[in-house]
Amino acid sequence: MPKLNWFYFAAPNTFYPLAGKMVPWFAVAAAVFAAIGLYIGFFVAPTDFQQGEGYRIIFVHVPAAWMSMFLYVVMAFWAAVGLAFNTRLSSMMAQAIAPTGALMTFLALWTGSLWGKPMWGTWWVWDARLTSELILLFLYIGFMALQASIDDPRRADRAGAVLAIVGVINVPIIYFSVQWWNTLHQGASVSLTRSPSMATTMLWGMLVMALAAWMYSIAVVLVRVRAIILERERNADWVRDLKAKGATK
Amino acid sequence: MGSLDAFRALVRRDLLLALRRRADVLTTLVFFVIVVSLFPLGVGPEMETLRQIAPGVVWVAALLASMLALGRLFSADYADGTLEQMLLAPQPLGLLVAAKVAAHWLVSGLPLVFIAPVLGLQYDLPWDALGVLMASLLVGTPVLGLIGAVGAALTLGLRGGGVLVSLLVLPLYIPVLIFGAGAVDAAAAGTGAAAHLSLLGAFLVVSLFFAPWAAALGLRISLE
């Protein structure tokens, strides 16, 4: 039996076909979980006695907010691995994750303000969570802008990695500063902390939707990383062979 | 040449260079004064409102001024090749970066500290709040310079570097803004600014430890 090589898939030419095989699975899983989650969310979960039907937006909002924060950490992790071990694929992963993370952040902000209008009577509150989520969006945009403005991909990877790591150190500081700023200055007029006694079906709907968001993110990131691999390795022999076989799709 | 000698020499050299081009230094200061003076024109001259917004306005203006000054931190040395020599120097690059940031702060950060009370008077801030404003700027502006050095190093020689550096650096400035303005607010409200100033001091220590190292890494990436 050949020895299992953990780094076998760390090379773009071996990872590319593997990613291609995994994409459909994650895409289907995302669709199935989303269908189940939305069904629970819209038909099974009871109407909230306080918030009416409007609360159902949390089935999109909460998973998006979770993913937005989680993806930043994952992005910074891969960027750091790429910086430390000089592995090309890690940096490509980081680059592929950034747009999805930004999308999730935007989605969380957008659905949050849609929820805020009927519940709080305002589109936006300078609450700690809202503010730090907004800053997270800025951090994603900064990462993408820095990478986009450097033509040499290796330099772009490493510069982006330094920025992502600085950002990861700063995110907790920003979060707590925003929280303290909020509590120090104005009374907690609006609290985002939900009542702990959440109906079980609601919780299940949310968890299933979170799984759907995971699967969707993985599928999209894999598709994007495949595109990045092809773009960067376009002069490599194995890409030329793929092209000759007409298998780059 | 020992590391500390190199540090001292680099600070002296940068200060001398700044002294020969005084206009550059004054531009930052004038920018700071103009931005702060614009707000009463936009908001209206009611003293009650002005007193409330004064800490935030002065601090945001300080943020913008120190961000604009970042362009000068490495670019001249980058253009004439001095920076490459610094990378080759036997002294640790982080220390040289720290020296450059220190000189940069003396030239573009410290003047803001001294002009700020005058601007605070225009906004009718009480006396003890003026003292806290100076103290918070004294502790806070070096942090801005240190964090900014990382952004300046990463965007060195890029097209559109000036706008890009603001995009990278301004989100990271937010904690400094919150506690800097918060200290003045707290002093004006009479609750004492010690907590805010201590946190600013903590930021200074942490960024003093990490930022020169990260900026040195950024310079190596940008210049390879």
Q: Is the pLDDT of residue A201 over 90?
A: no
pLDDT band at A86 (very low <50, low <70, confident <90, very high): confident
For B73, phi then psi, to 5°, come to: -60, -50
Q: What is the pLDDT of residues A111-130, one digit of tens each?
A: 988 888 887 788 888 877 78
**Structural domain boundaries enclosing A207:** 23-187+198-243
Closest residue, chain B, to A84 (C-alpha): B217
Q: How far is B212 from chain A (nearest CA, A)?
A: 12
- In angstroms, rounded to a whole number, what is the distance separating the alpha carbons of residues B131 and B108? 20
Encoded amino acid at A196, one letter = P
**Mean pLDDT to the nearest integer, B155-178:** 87
User: Is A249 within a domain?
Assistant: no
Spell out which chain B residues touch chain A, with contact meaning CB-CB distance below 8 angstroms: 150, 154-155, 158-161, 164, 167-168, 170-172, 174-175, 178-179, 182, 185-186, 199, 203, 210, 214, 217-218, 221-222, 224
Over pLDDT 90: what percentage of chain A? 37
Q: How large is the angle between the packed helices B93-108 and B71-79, nearest 10 degrees?
A: 120
Least confident of A8-17, B9-18, B76-85, B173-182: A8-17
Nearest alpha-carbon partner for A133 in A157, A99, A107, A154: A107
Q: What CATH number does the domain containing A127 carry?
A: 1.20.120
Residue B123, pLDDT > 70, answer: yes
Does A79 fall in a domain? yes
| A114 found inside a domain | yes
Mean confidence (pLDDT) of chain A: 83
pLDDT tens readout for residues A141-191 = 999 999 988 888 888 999 999 999 988 887 787 777 777 776 544 443 444
Q: What is residue A191's predicted lDDT score, i.e. its pLDDT?
A: 46
A9-23, A36-50, B7-21, B165-179: which range is least confident on average? A36-50
A146 vs B210: CB contact, 8 Å cut-off? no
What are the backbone dihedrals phi and psi of residue A102, each rounded to the nearest 5 degrees, phi first? -65, -40
DSSP for B43-94? H-S-HHHHHHHHHHHHHHHHHHHHHHHTHHHHHHHHHTTHHHHHHHSSS-HH
Residue A211 lies in a domain: yes
> Would you place residue A198 in the very low, low, confident or very high pLDDT band (cuts 50, 70, 90)?
low
Interface residue of B159, B173, B221 to substitute, partner A, most A CBs within 10 Å = B221
Does position A97 have pLDDT exceeding 70, yes or no? Answer: yes
The residue ranges of every structural domain in chain B are 3-223
Q: How many domains does chain A have?
A: 1
Both tokens of B101, joined, read 């940031």
In Å, what is the CA distance from A178 to each residue of A150, A171, B141?
A: 32, 10, 19
Beta strands in chain A (DSSP E): none
Would A215 be classed as within a structural domain?
Answer: yes
Q: How many residues does chain A have?
A: 249
Residues of B in contact with A158 (CB under 8 A): 221
Q: Is residue A192 part of a domain?
A: no
Q: Give this complex's ipTM.
A: 0.84
